[in-house]
């Protein structure tokens, strides 16, 4: 039976294959695109949040991401929206399918990004992008998450190309993406060592928090989803400034705080919060694309653009989720809440 770890180890090959196949083609449908509404839930929502700032920057577009169920019941589509993109790795999330069926009637350009070309989503839309990540049988998705982030960034390169955005920008991002993908095996190894260093602490910890900014707000939210699904103890991901508006008041010595950092105008603010919080929590750990400066830092040492750093920085959290769950004695192959989908029908 394939495990989460098997899929984490496949990420480099899958992402490389996606990069190799990618050709920026000008799509007439995407030429006028300036405002995009995205519908996605769970890890797919987090992947969209992680890709949002990068897509906006590359393609000169503005993006809003909505939870499909809420949007379907309470949302409205502003006239300014040019296209609606549904993202679902399995293609089976009922809320995403239902919302898209309604949107179809509104006459907007519809796009789907899914790993399931047999899904009803695929037939429904004007423009289909295959996540092209092969099979992932483990519900706690890892390679599918990373492939979704990459495909979203590549979609923005296609949009940018269709809008006539200069080729240098496309070349630059393709090179940056290749650089990060090449580093994946090393990141997995570094993350393993980091886990071993803190295994005894992780084994007994009961509250986990991750704080990120920009594209890594999405990484923090994916940490939250992954830890909740696997470690099954209170875990929350916050945007840097949002943590300072209430959540810090909960801090105590049972908390492990992960700071997700990469060079940015926001780095100094993250460091300031990190230094402030240190005496009030059990442990402050940093996961950064920079070099390690102390034992509490997992420094990936990748000199990459902030807008592709989310592809690197999520991998330690995927690995830690698997390893911490395992060291706590959780058997991730053992299905739980087996009747959930039958009763709640959140997946078709
Ligand atoms: O991307 P999909 O297939 O729509 O799934 C969304 C989410 O649903 C779940 O499978 C269960 O809620 C999550 O693990 C996943 O992130």
How confident is the model over 117-156, as pLDDT tens digits?
A: 999 999 999 999 999 998 899 999 999 999 999 999 999 9
**Which pLDDT score, from 0 to 100, does residue 286 have?**
98
Residue among 90, 91, 144, 228 to mutate when testing ligand 1 (max atoms within 8 A of CB): 90
**Which pLDDT score, from 0 to 100, does residue 57 have?**
95
Percent of the chain with pLDDT over 90: 96
Q: How confident is the model at residue 95 (pLDDT cuts 50, 70, 90)?
A: very high
Q: Which of 53-57, 105-109, 189-193 has the lowest mean pLDDT?
A: 105-109
In the chain, domain spans: 4-182, 184-327
Nearest CA to ligand 1 atom 3: 90
Nearest CA to ligand 1 atom 2: 88
42 Cα nearest atom in ligand 1: 16
Q: How confident is the model at residue 254 (pLDDT cuts 50, 70, 90)?
A: very high
**Which pLDDT score, from 0 to 100, does residue 169 have?**
85
* Cβ 161 vs Cβ 169: under 8 Å: no
DSSP 99-154: HHHHHHTTT-EEEEEES-TTSHHHHH-SEEEE--------SS-SHHHHHHHHHHHH
Report the greatest alpha carbon distance in the chain: 56
The reply to whether the predicted model has a pTM over 0.95 is: yes
**CA terminus-to-terminus distance, the chain:** 24
**Which pLDDT score, from 0 to 100, does residue 245 have?**
98
Q: Is the pLDDT of residue 105 over 90?
A: no
**Which pLDDT score, from 0 to 100, does residue 168 have?**
83
CA of 269 to the centre of ligand 1 (A): 33
Nearest CA to ligand 1 atom 7: 42
Q: Is the pLDDT of residue 34 over 80?
A: yes
CA of 23 to the centre of ligand 1 (A): 28
pLDDT tens-digit series, residues 64-94: 999 999 999 999 999 999 999 999 999 999 9
Question: What is the C-alpha separation between 301 and 288, in angstroms, rounded?
Answer: 8
- For the domain 184-327, what is the CATH superfamily, name and number? Glucose-6-phosphate isomerase like protein; domain 1 (3.40.50.10490)
Q: Look at residues 168, 130, 167 and name the one whose alpha carbon lies nearest to residue 150.
A: 130
CA of 297 to the centre of ligand 1 (A): 31
- Residues 11-35 have a mean pLDDT of 95
Q: Which residue has the tokens 């295994």?
A: 199
* Orientation of helix 309-327 relative to helix 215-230, angle to 10°: 20
**Which pLDDT score, from 0 to 100, does residue 96 have?**
97
CA of 273 to the centre of ligand 1 (A): 32
46 Cα nearest atom in ligand 1: 16
44 Cα nearest atom in ligand 1: 1
CA of 160 to the centre of ligand 1 (A): 28
DSSP 212-258: E-THHHHHHHHHHHHHHHHT-S-EEEEEHHHHTTTGGGG--TTEEEE
43 Cα nearest atom in ligand 1: 16
Query: Is 107 or 15 the better-scoring residue by pLDDT?
Result: 15
Q: Is the pLDDT of residue 166 over 80?
A: no
**Which pLDDT score, from 0 to 100, does residue 323 have?**
98
CA of 52 to the centre of ligand 1 (A): 19
141 Cα nearest atom in ligand 1: 14
Question: What is the C-alpha separation between 54 and 218, in angstroms, rounded?
Answer: 12
40 Cα nearest atom in ligand 1: 4
How wide is the angle at C-alpha 59 spanned by C-alphas 57 and 60, nearest 5°?
Answer: 65
Q: What is the mean pLDDT of the chain?
A: 96
- Residues 92-107 have a mean pLDDT of 93
Q: Is the pLDDT of residue 294 over 80?
A: yes
Q: Which CATH architecture has domain 4-182?
A: 3-Layer(aba) Sandwich (3.40)
**Which pLDDT score, from 0 to 100, does residue 165 have?**
84
Q: Which residues line ligand 1 (CB under 6 A)?
A: 41-44, 88-90, 92-93, 96, 139, 141
Half-sphere exposure of 115 (CA within 13 A, CB side): 22
């Amino acid at each position: 039976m394939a495990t989460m770890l098997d899929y984490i180890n496949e990420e480099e090959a899958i992402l490389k294959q996606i990069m190799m196949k990618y050709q920026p083609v000008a799509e007439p449908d995407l030429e006028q695109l300036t405002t995009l509404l995205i519908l996605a839930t769970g890890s797919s929502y987090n992947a969209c949040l992680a890709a949002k700032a990068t897509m906006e920057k590359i393609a000169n577009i503005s993006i809003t991401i909505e939870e499909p169920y809420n949007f379907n019941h309470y949302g409205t589509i502003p006239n300014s929206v040019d296209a609606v993109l549904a993202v679902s790795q399995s293609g089976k999330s009922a809320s995403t399918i239902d919302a898209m069926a309604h949107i179809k009637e509104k006459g907007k350009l519809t796009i789907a990004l899914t790993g399931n070309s047999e899904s009803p989503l695929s037939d429904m839309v004007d423009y289909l992008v295959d996540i092209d990540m092969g099979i992932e049988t483990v519900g706690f998705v890892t390679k599918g998450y990373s492939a979704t982030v990459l495909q979203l960034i590549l979609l923005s390169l296609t949009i940018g190309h269709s809008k006539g955005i200069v080729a240098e920008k496309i070349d630059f991002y393709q090179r940056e993406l290749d650089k990060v993908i090449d580093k994946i095996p090393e990141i997995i190894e570094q993350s393993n060592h980091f886990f071993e260093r803190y295994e005894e602490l992780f084994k007994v910890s009961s509250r986990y928090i991750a704080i990120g900014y920009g594209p890594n707000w999405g990484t923090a939210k994916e940490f939250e989803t992954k830890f909740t699904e696997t470690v099954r103890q209170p875990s929350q991901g916050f945007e840097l400034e949002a943590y300072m508006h209430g959540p810090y008041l909960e801090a105590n010595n049972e908390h492990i705080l992960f700071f997700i950092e990469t060079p940015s105008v926001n780095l100094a603010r993250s460091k300031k919060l990190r230094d402030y919080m240190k005496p009030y929590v059990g442990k402050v750990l940093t996961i950064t694309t920079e070099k390690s400066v102390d034992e509490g830092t997992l420094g990936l040492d990748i000199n990459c653009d902030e807008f592709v750093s989310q592809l690197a920085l999520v991998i330690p959290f995927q690995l830690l989720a698997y390893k911490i769950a395992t060291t706590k004695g959780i058997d991730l192959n053992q299905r739980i809440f087996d009747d959930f989908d039958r009763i709640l029908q959140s997946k078709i």
